[in-house]
Amino acid sequence: MTAPAHTRSSAELIEAEEPVLAHNYHPLPVVVARAEGTWVEDVEGRRYLDMLAGYSALNFGHRHPALVEAAHRQLDQLTLTSRAFHNDRLAEFAERLAELTGLDMVLPMNTGAEAVESGIKVARKWAYDVKGVPTDQATIVVAADNFHGRTTTIVSFSTDETARAGFGPFTPGFRIVPYNDLAALEAAVDETTAAVLIEPIQGEAGVMIPDDGYLTGVRELTRRAGCLFVADEIQSGLGRTGRTLAVDHEDVVPDVLLLGKALGGGIVPVSAVVARREVMSVLRPGEHGSTFGGNPLAAAVGTAVVELLEGGEFQRRAAESGVILRDGLAELVGRGVVGFRSRGLWAGVDVDPAIGTGREISERLMREGVLVKDTHGSTIRLAPPLTITAEELRSALGSLEKVLTA
């Protein structure tokens, strides 16, 4: 990595943001200027191990050569057509993504929230056209402590007051039940239910992993009740947990799958709704769309991402390195860690609040050259690129130990 000549220091750049940038984030005080693989470098040339990976948008690391090459190649050919015309990259992207996920049809979008919104629209349309729910009566059952994005409809069924307060009026048609509670789900589902929409692992809630059998239970329950199972794998999917999808751990195939983040390889925003043919077929021309969804640059990068996952190497690495992560965290229980949950290269770590808030721990780790993000209270989340080496992972765990036991 060669350092560009910056005229302003990190501190000056942070200060310059304050009056001109919306205050909807509270970033750690690090200004990243360059990155490669698992490492990022700030304006002054300090290096940090990236243990967040863009909230799993960087599953393959920063600037993975195959993804950068696919993007460069496409930049020299064609970048945007809109869906008013066909483009020569979209068919292959859809074919290979459908094949990878075991589903039939792809609706390409851009951000995760758009995929969720699109999934909600598909589920409602299916409820009216196929299930026969009376007009405007369709309901969708969701889980408490969910995180599905930031649009007005999505925050309508959030249980996080910070995400909701001040943004009403809210969209009706959602029922909220406790996560990981099949009995509550069963009680909430009725003849108006279009879908059950859940995260197979709740990431933002602190990497909350449901009991074994929950996802199988959701699959059986939705099938019995005649409604759709919509799995939001925007953060949990694409290798993160050691399998292609988190639902693969229970060999469950949902009716509708929502993907995003890593689908764009950390280069461009790419998301998708992937569904069974009879579900996706409810959409007719003009009923839904996106200027950028399915653009050739996104399709080229997305295809390269799917190609990386087809080989299985990244899933394997996540599973293998996940053992190092789990064992390393287990050794810290009682030594600053009060509990943790992990699957593959993804962990939510509850730190003893006496040691510090998640934010304070994140800042101390930053000073040790490790970037993480807090979620709620004293919980931090670890989600390094799946390309992280055993040595790098042990080094990050060593920094965490140092911070917790200092």
Ligand X SMILES: Cc1ncc(COP(=O)(O)O)c(C=O)c1O
Residue 343, interface with ligand X (CB under 6 A)? Answer: no
How many residues bind ligand X (CB under 6 A)? The answer is 15
Residue 261 annotated in active site = yes
Q: Of the candidates 74, 101, 153, 235, which one interacts with ligand X according to CB under 6 A?
A: 235
Residues 264 and 16: their CA atoms lie apart, in Å, by 29
Structure tokens at 7: 């005229």
Choice among 261, 292, 340, 374 that is catalytic: 261
Residue 167 annotated in active site = no
Residue 270, interface with ligand X (CB under 6 A)? Answer: no
Choice among 60, 147, 157, 292 that is catalytic: 147
Residue 237, interface with ligand X (CB under 6 A)? Answer: no
Question: Of 142 and 308, which has the nearer Cβ to ligand X?
Answer: 142
Residue 125 annotated in active site = no
Neighbours of 20 (CB within 10 A): 6
What residue has token string 């019995």? 224
Part of the chain binding ligand X (CB under 6 A), chosen from 63-71, 79-87, 145-153, 279-287: 145-153
Residue 234, interface with ligand X (CB under 6 A)? Answer: yes
Per residue in 78-98, is it b (16+ CB within 10 Å) or e — as a string?
eeeeebeeebebbeebbebbb
SS3 state at 193 = strand
Residues 57 and 25: their CA atoms lie apart, in Å, by 18
Residues 17 and 10: their CA atoms lie apart, in Å, by 11
CB 283 to ligand X: min, Å: 20
- Which 97-126 positions form the footprint of ligand X (CB under 6 A)? 111-113, 116
Q: Taking the mean position of all CA atoms in its chain, how far away is CA 239? A: 11
Residue 348, interface with ligand X (CB under 6 A)? Answer: no
Residues 48 and 51: their CA atoms lie apart, in Å, by 9
- CB distance 360 to 371 below 8 Å: no
Question: Of 48 and 147, which has the nearer Cβ to ligand X?
Answer: 147
Q: Of the candidates 50, 117, 232, 255, which one interacts with ligand X according to CB under 6 A?
A: 232
143: part of which helix (H) or strand (E)?
strand 139-143
**Residue 128: HSE in the Cβ half-sphere, 13 Å Cα cutoff:** 12
* Total count of residues recorded for the chain: 406
CB 18 to ligand X: min, Å: 23
- CB distance 389 to 399 below 8 Å: no
- Which 38-57 positions form the footprint of ligand X (CB under 6 A)? 55
Residue 199, interface with ligand X (CB under 6 A)? Answer: yes
Q: Hey, which residues are catalytic here?
A: 147, 232, 261
Chain positions contacting ligand X, by CB under 6 A: 55, 111-113, 116, 147-149, 199, 203-204, 232, 234-235, 260
